[in-house]
Chains A and B, each alone.
Chain A
Amino acid sequence: MALSVSIQKRLGSFSLDVSFSTDGQSPFGLLGASGSGKSVTLQCIAGILTPDRGRIELNGRTLFDSERKINLPPQKRNIGYLFQQYALFPNMTVEQNLLAGVRSGSRAEKKAAVADAIRRFRLDGTEKQYPATLSGGQQQRTALARILVGQPELLLLDEPFSALDGFLKWQLEWELAEYLKPFSGDVVFVTHARDEIRRLCRSACVLEHGRSEASLPADALLDRPQTLAAAQLAGFRNVTAVRAEADGFVFCPAWNLRLRTEKPCQAVALPENALHPALPGEENAFLCRVAGEVSEDAQTTVLLIPDGAEPGTVLCMQKPEGALLSETLRVAIAPEAVLTLGSRIVTT
């Protein structure tokens, strides 16, 4: 019992080719840069957009099947969709917004369901207010309540925190997780922020230029990414495409580096904490110019420009405790510490 998706769609010059299943993996994350097709995917699942080809199944029900000519309208899919800006109806009060979410029952039953949701989502006192007068937290709770009073089988969350920053984002994220705990259906969560995937999702897959990669447990996806796109989205900053060479070496044109790796690959990521000042005679060592250092939340980062690198490229190295830096530095990375990446892993 889960959502399984396998769809293709062309939109102008953009083409979408996505497949994944949430079976035992919910909350499931779709991680992608903007323009990678995350929202289009959710809209296809919800029935707002129609894919060109493929199938969508939810808990054994076919929602869409291009071959059998099945295409349920959004009204019949029973899917809750949390929009980026919540999409509360501005012409209705909080109470009326929630009432619009109740799918069945007599008038009295609907009213009772709304009253119950208002209490559970701590919206007491806002019943007669219009959405424009609510705080960000109240808006999110209203939107969630409006969706959950309809008892959907699946929840789609479309970058709910992308418009927020700092403390409010943190607070709403925590609150969302709390309110989703009692929800028994599957959840698909779409974002470009890796920290949200790590905190909110059990597993996830990367969406790159409209194509989905393999699904992995969230921690594995972020700590040991397997593709170039995944590594970039996971926050690795030293990422580049490489050319395979003989004897277990690869050449990185952007950095003008020849590195030994454990496996042949199409791209590499150099973890910032694995780069270190080279010891005499160490393998995978290279000369860099030190371009400066920047303080960040968890570390001080040294910016390195490898000898002969393409203009504009820079490597980041976590500054070793107490290290003194000269203008040039020989740095090294152990072959087993180099992350070997494919250019793409197609979902199986």
Chain B
Amino acid sequence: MDWYPLWNSLRIALIATGIVFFLGIFAAYYAARLPKAIKGVLDVVLTLPLVLPPTVVGYLLLRLLGPKRPLGALFAGQFGVRLTMTWWSAVIATAVVIFPLLYRTARGAFESFDESLAAAGRTLGKSNTYVFWRIRMPCCRQGILAGTVLAFARALGEYGATSMIAGYTPGRTATISTTVYQLWRLDNDADAFRWVLVNIVLSAIVLLAMNFLERRSRAKRRA
């Protein structure tokens, strides 16, 4: 069996989750400080990919990143880089699709954060960076961690937008989900089923890891 789809899926999911981890957290942090009207609009825009069908997201991305489209043409002309039909096109598509999951869970976590802890840190002479990374983030860690794992799990399962923007090229852009579809379409039921099992095992491991991490951080504070 060629393990490329597994490796490619993991790589795409990890990189996309990594990017979205920072983008989602900072968007959530700064959105909370905006005036109400702007916040409402921004919230809708940032959450939209969660409710749109992945094919619609894929379509919109193609309109933006396709070789003849503004951004795609710019990158092709300036840097000679193709934004579609590569494995990292899938990273872009996946990042867009999972962004709202992290953004919303992080926002919820930040909203329930006790601001007097941040104020206490600042009056004790701690820098804003310290307050953010050593106080705010650890206190919101449960929510953010859950959001991250959820986003990662969703990234592993991303199919619609990815198949549109990265396509299916064995050994280059194939992921587990696109491989399962292709194998099923070609009537290769045995291999399709093998990949389905791989996917189930992988997802189960991710969810187990999430439960384990949650329990450990809770136990530590009560110790």
Which positions in A face B, CB cutoff 8 Å?
43, 46-48, 73-75, 77-81, 83-85, 87, 89-91, 100-101, 103, 130, 132-133, 146-147, 150
Contact = CB atoms under 8 A, between A and B. Distances in A.
B122 A74 contact: yes
Contacts of B223: 130, 133
Contacts of A130: 220-223
Contacts of B126: 75, 100
Contact of A75 (B114, B122, B139, B220): B122
Contacts of A90: 117, 139, 221
B123 A47 contact: yes
Contacts of A81: 119-120, 123
A93 to B, nearest CB: 10
22 contacts: A43-B119, A46-B123, A47-B122, A73-B122, A74-B119, A74-B122, A75-B123, A75-B126, A75-B127, A81-B119, A81-B120, A81-B123, A83-B119, A83-B120, A87-B114, A87-B116, A89-B135, A91-B135, A91-B139, A100-B124, A103-B124, A130-B220
Contacts, number: 67
Interface string B34-76: 0000000000000000000000000000000000000000000
Contact of B119 (A46, A77, A91, A147): A46
Nearest to B140: A91
A48 B117 CA distance: 12
A79 B222 CA distance: 31
Contacts of B119: 43, 46, 48, 74, 81, 83, 87
Interface in B109-150: 114, 116-117, 119-127, 134-135, 138-139, 141
A250 B51 CA distance: 70
A319 B76 CA distance: 94
Nearest to B117: A87
A248 to B, nearest CB: 52
A74 B123 CA distance: 5
Contact of B116 (A80, A85, A133): A85
Contacts of B120: 81, 83, 87, 89
A73 B122 CA distance: 8
A172 B6 CA distance: 60
Contact of B124 (A47, A48, A84, A146): A146
Contacts of A85: 114, 116
